[in-house]
Amino acid sequence: MRCSSAILALLSLTLAFARQPVRTRHAMVTAQEPNAADVGAAVLKAGGNAVDAAVAIGFALAATHPFAGNLGGGGFMLIRFADGRTTFIDFREAAPLAASHDMYLDEKGNPTRDSIEGWRASGVPGTVRGLGVAHSKYGKKPWASLVQPAVTLARDGFEISYEQSEQWKSQGTVRRLSISPESKRVFLKDGAFYEAGETFRQPELARTLERIARKGPDEFYTGETAATLAAEMKKNGGIITADDLAGYRAVERTPLECDYKGHHVITAPPPSSGGVGVVQMLGMLEGSGYEKSGWGSAATVHYLAETMRRYYADRSRFLGDPDFYKVPLSGLLDPAYIKQRAASIDPEHATPSDKVGPGQPAGAEGSDTTHFNVVDAEGNAVAVTYTLNAGYGSGVTVPGLGFLLNDEMDDFAAKPGVPNMFQLVQGESNAIAPRKRPLSSMTPTIVTRNGQFEMMLGAPGGSFIITAVLQGFLNMVDFGMNPQDAVDAPRIHHQWKPDLIMMEHGYSPDTMALLKARGHNVRDLQYQVTSRLDAIRRGSNGWLEGGSDGRGRGKVAGY
């Protein structure tokens, strides 16, 4: 007897991803590096709230997870308080005052690599300011006490894991960190490399963190750290100045919200493109019956891919920094517009991307990253995604300061219509301008049900973030998975262009063959990691259940 592709896929999922979630009664943290997760759990046990724990984790990751944890990058923090209030803190990097529309084009008008690596690739960092705003408005523990664990981890060091050692020896990492002599010295021992079990100490970073702990967030933007960073920028051909640093501000924005089958979704507004994507795609999926053929079936994957295709087409034209560009948000999220987009999906055949352009919403004019989740004993929830963009950012470590700089300028459309490093096609709405924030895929998301916290999700992974968060949510809501299985399950990704369904290893050959028969271009990613999703859910018995993606080396901690 021949099993259907859906049954084979379900069997594969059951065998490969049957891990139980971590369960705690009171409070929980998920983070993509174990030492940082332990720091957050310790803050919660000591009486700190979810914001306190998030601040401590953010600084700890700067010491223990240099791939993406940072002082030299930026990100988003989504907060849902136990009393139902919500807020969103945007500490995305900003273009320097000297930035210009065509700054990364050569004499022939083609994009250069200057937006990806080196001193000119960096936007003005926002992380320290963002964590500072969150703490001053919503934290309760002393600031210095939340930065101190990171100081200790940088000064006294921590044991290098096997995975970290191997990553630092990989060809791509060696090339990127060799861009900067300081990066090569700090992280690669000038080519001698750290072995698993060795202690990794960062005295320059420890001194920077100590100053921030003593003097507060302003030290990074107007103190010794700012002066050193501006001087090194000038010395090395970068364009961030003391005025750029002093003028940087984190911005509080109103989260996006929608409902899906009785679940209330709270997610990221622009300059994140992720929240718009989640709301649009859930709107296209609700009522479609896409889930009836089961997880992993060709029919289900087809409908997900067609939904993703339409959203990413809209993303290419209509999204950007709302402080610089009039995003047609109400039109993009109008249920009638979303219904119109869904109606164009052929349930049996792929629609080529060349025939799916951006829509016409009302009001419209003519990696790497890391994520962590925190829920405290009072029910406050904080989801943070922050980033250096590429792994290790621009590859530049600032001499005397010990932290890596981002390469976030590549998230702008260096040349509108030409794909960036994630192969995303972007339009004039996301072109470079001074103090503008580049469009992001970061999608911290919190979900409630009947007015109470239900779950939260987030991921790194560039353009794969949005579809990872969507599928993690659907895995729990539509396919009945627990949080661990939901984050471990294989995922697909379609981003309009290139016209391709990228499928992680784990889908059956029958499913892939049936998708090709429907007209899809399909690529089996084998064991390539697309994103690393983390999730926390409150079970029906009141216990918290946490899942940390098996694609990474994260940890769930709590009490």
Radius of gyration of the chain (CA): 22
Q: Quick check: is 467 catalytic?
A: no
Assign 198 to helix, strand or coil.
coil
Strand order in the sheet with 501-503: 492-493, 501-503, 522-524
Closest CA to 102 of 93, 115, 92: 115
Cα–Cα distance for residue pair 475/463, rounded to 1 Å: 19
- The answer to whether 226 touches 220, Cβ cutoff 8 Å, is yes
- Tell me which of 173, 369, 397, 448 is the catalytic residue: 369
Give the count of beta carbons closer than 10 Å to the beta carbon of residue 246.
12
Joined together, the tokens standing for residue 5 give: 């592709």
- Phi first, then psi: what are they for 236, rounded to 5°? -110, 15
The rounded Cα 368 to chain-centroid distance in angstroms is 8
Give the count of beta carbons closer than 10 Å to the beta carbon of residue 449.
14
Cα–Cα distance for residue pair 503/464, rounded to 1 Å: 11
Give the count of beta carbons closer than 10 Å to the beta carbon of residue 399.
18
Assign 389 to helix, strand or coil.
coil
- The answer to whether 382 touches 54, Cβ cutoff 8 Å, is yes
Assign 14 to helix, strand or coil.
helix
Closest CA to 75 of 138, 134, 147, 151: 134
| Dihedral (Cα; 142, 143, 144, 145), 10-degree rounding | 50
Cα–Cα distance for residue pair 190/184, rounded to 1 Å: 5
Is 193 buried (19+), middle (13-18) or exposed (0-12) by CB count in 10 A?
A: middle
- The answer to whether 414 touches 104, Cβ cutoff 8 Å, is yes
> Does residue 157 come out as left (phi exceeding 0), alpha (psi in the -120 to 50 range) or beta?
left
Catalytic residues: 369
